[in-house]
């Protein structure tokens, strides 16, 4: 197991956010004349956003992962991150609703709204890992040392 | 033991870091001293009590309160009662205690 710094985690978090920004732009262009541009943006965004989220999950420890191996502190961290992310997720869904109302008159409003909803939903699932990556301090190398501290 | 404490820099009682939460009722612990005395790494203690090594680090830094269950498991590893490992008041460095005796 290796240690990670907050600065490195934040760099990956920024890459993930750039990826999701690409996906949001792609979802907004998800209509006939700009379909190719949209597909490219969505593909790049998917690679950066979703791929980066998996990297973040490995760098934020077990708290961002599954429940089987979590101890009491991991569970506490995960619960706090999920709670905060759930509030942000609500804001994303409100933004999605507003977007749906804005494009309601467009002939391809259904596909535009569906693409945006899917994108924002994916962003919502990445929120806990983003939250942990941004807030967790640097790992302490002594946590991973297998030899005890020297007594003399 | 006093020499060990001094060599590890444990003479300063502020080393027993208070937990961040509950400013009025902090929980102090003696984990770094007890680990050093027994030659245990954080990873070894974590394995013994079945938690993530980072949780032991968080306990030592005062970033995390242990549950009662975890506190008992840690005390069982050291063979000490809970009040010898955890307390509401800062622990006097063992070297100071020995000198006074």
The pLDDT assigned to B96 comes to 80
> B36 lies in a domain?
yes
Please count the structural domains in chain B. Answer: 1
Residue written as tokens 């090594």? B53
**Among the partner residues B7, B35, B42, nearest to A143 by beta-carbon distance:** B42
Residue A126's pLDDT band (boundaries 50, 70, 90)?
very high
**Domain span holding position B63:** 14-85
DSSP at B13: G
> B42 lies in a domain?
yes
Hey, of A3, A72, A138, A141, which one would you mutate to test binding to chain B, going by the most B CBs within 10 A of its CB?
Answer: A72
Region B52-77 average pLDDT? 93
CB contact (8 A) between residue B52 and residue A71? yes
> B8 lies in a domain?
no
Chain B contacts to A (CB-CB under 8 A): 4, 7-8, 32, 35-36, 39-44, 50-58, 61, 64, 66-67, 70
Residue A86 C-alpha, separation from nearest chain B C-alpha, in angstroms: 23
Residues of B in contact with A76 (CB under 8 A): 64
**Domain span holding position A116:** 6-61+72-135
> A83 lies in a domain?
yes
Residues of B in contact with A74 (CB under 8 A): 52, 55
**Torsion angle, CA of A100/A105/A106/A111, rounded to 10 degrees?**
40
The pLDDT assigned to B98 comes to 77
- Which CATH number do you get for residue B52? 1.10.260.40
- What secondary structure does DSSP assign to chain A, as a single string? -----HHHHHHHHHHHHHHHHHHHHHHHT-SGGGHHHHHHHHHHHHHHHHHHHHHHHHHT-GGGS-STT--HHHHHHHHHHHHHHHHHHHHHHHHHHHHHHHTTTSTTHHHHHHHHHHHHHHHHHHHHHHHHHHHS-PPPGGGG-SSPPP--
> A142 lies in a domain?
no
Angle between helices B42-49 and B68-78 (to 10 degrees): 120
Q: What pLDDT digit, counting tens, does each position of B2-31 carry?
A: 444 444 444 333 333 344 556 678 899 999
> B79 lies in a domain?
yes
> A147 lies in a domain?
no
Q: What pLDDT digit, counting tens, does each position of A55-102 carry?
A: 888 877 666 566 677 889 988 998 999 999 999 999 999 999 999 999
> A144 lies in a domain?
no
Assess contact for B59 and B66: CB atoms under 8 A.
yes
CB contact (8 A) between residue A152 and residue B7? yes
CA A51 to chain centre: 10
> A120 lies in a domain?
yes
Q: How far is CA A69 from CA A4, A64, B43, B46, in A?
A: 20, 11, 15, 13
Please count the structural domains in chain A. Answer: 1
Burial class (CB in 10 A: 0-12, 13-18, 19+), B85: buried
Q: Average model confidence (pLDDT) for chain B?
A: 80
CB contact (8 A) between residue A72 and residue B44? no
Assess contact for A56 and A94: CB atoms under 8 A.
no
Residue B89's pLDDT band (boundaries 50, 70, 90)?
confident
> B28 lies in a domain?
yes
Residues of B in contact with A144 (CB under 8 A): 43, 53
Q: Count other Cβ atoms within 10 Å, centred on residue A150.
A: 9
> A78 lies in a domain?
yes
């Amino acid at each position: 197991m290796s240690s990670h710094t907050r600065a490195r985690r934040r760099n990956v978090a920024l890459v993930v956010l750039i990826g999701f920004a690409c996906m949001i732009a792609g979802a907004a262009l998800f209509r006939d004349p700009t379909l190719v541009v949209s597909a490219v943006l969505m593909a790049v965004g998917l690679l950066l956003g979703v791929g980066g989220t998996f990297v973040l999950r490995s760098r934020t420890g077990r708290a961002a992962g599954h429940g089987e191996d979590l101890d009491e502190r991991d569970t506490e961290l995960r619960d706090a991150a999920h709670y905060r992310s759930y509030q942000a997720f609500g804001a994303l869904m409100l933004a999605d609703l507003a977007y749906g109302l804005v494009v309601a008159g467009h002939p391809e409003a259904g596909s535009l709204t569906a693409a945006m909803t899917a994108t924002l939903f994916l962003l919502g699932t990445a929120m806990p890992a983003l939250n942990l990556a941004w807030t967790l301090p640097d790992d302490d190398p002594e946590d991973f040392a297998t030899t005890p501290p020297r007594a003399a | 033991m006093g020499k060990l404490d001094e060599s590890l820099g444990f003479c300063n009682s502020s080393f027993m870091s208070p937990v961040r939460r509950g400013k009025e009722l902090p929980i102090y612990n003696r984990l770094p001293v007890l680990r050093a005395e027994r030659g245990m790494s954080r990873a070894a203690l974590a394995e013994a009590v079945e938690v993530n090594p980072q949780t032991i680090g968080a306990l030592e830094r005062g970033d995390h309160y242990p549950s009662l269950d975890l506190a008992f498991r840690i005390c069982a590893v050291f063979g000490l009662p809970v009040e010898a490992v955890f307390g509401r008041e800062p622990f006097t460095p063992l070297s100071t205690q020995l000198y006074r005796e």
